[in-house]
């Protein structure tokens, strides 16, 4: 079982039409008009913007992999994904755009 890596996240995000990579505080952001994901500097976690329903489902089904970002951001659907818990056999769970809610331009 191969765990997901920061390089995999970057490759997937940049394969989505219109996605740009940019610094966002201490993290790397991926955006199309708006940020839809941020990668931690150590490459161990990814914060993704999900709908509240997607967040609730993922956190319920895979609590070892997904948790709401603490604070108001989490209540808006921002969810932390533990990349070491994701693998090729256990994908993040396909939602729009491979697990990330990506706004359109």
C-alpha distances in Å from residue 19, one per residue of 33, 37, 47, 53, 58:
8, 10, 16, 24, 24
Considering the domain boundaries, does residue 45 fall inside one?
yes
Residue with the larger pLDDT of the pair 71 and 99: 71
Q: What is the mean pLDDT of residues 80-91?
A: 77
pLDDT digits (tens, 9 = 90+) for 26-44: 999 999 999 999 999 999 9
Whether residue 105 lies inside any domain: the answer is no
CATH number at residue 88: 3.90.1150.30
Contact predicate 4/87, CB 8 Å? yes
* Structural domain boundaries, residue 50: 6-99
Q: Would you say residue 36 lies in a domain? A: yes
Total-model pTM: 0.81
Q: What is the CA 87 to chain-centroid distance, rounded?
A: 14
Number of domains in the chain: 1
Task: Give residue 98's pLDDT.
Answer: 47
DSSP classification of residue 84: G
Is residue 1 assigned to a domain?
no
């Amino acid at each position: 079982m191969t765990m997901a890596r920061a390089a995999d996240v970057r490759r997937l995000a940049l394969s989505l039409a219109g996605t740009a990579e940019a610094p966002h505080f201490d993290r790397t952001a991926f955006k199309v008009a708006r940020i839809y994901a941020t990668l931690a500097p150590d490459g161990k976690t990814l914060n993704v913007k999900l709908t509240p329903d997607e967040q609730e489902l993922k956190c319920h089904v895979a609590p070892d992999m997904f948790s709401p970002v603490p604070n108001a951001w989490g209540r808006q659907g921002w969810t932390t994904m533990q990349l070491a818990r994701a693998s090729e056999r256990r994908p993040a769970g396909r939602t729009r755009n491979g697990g990330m809610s990506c706004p359109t331009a």
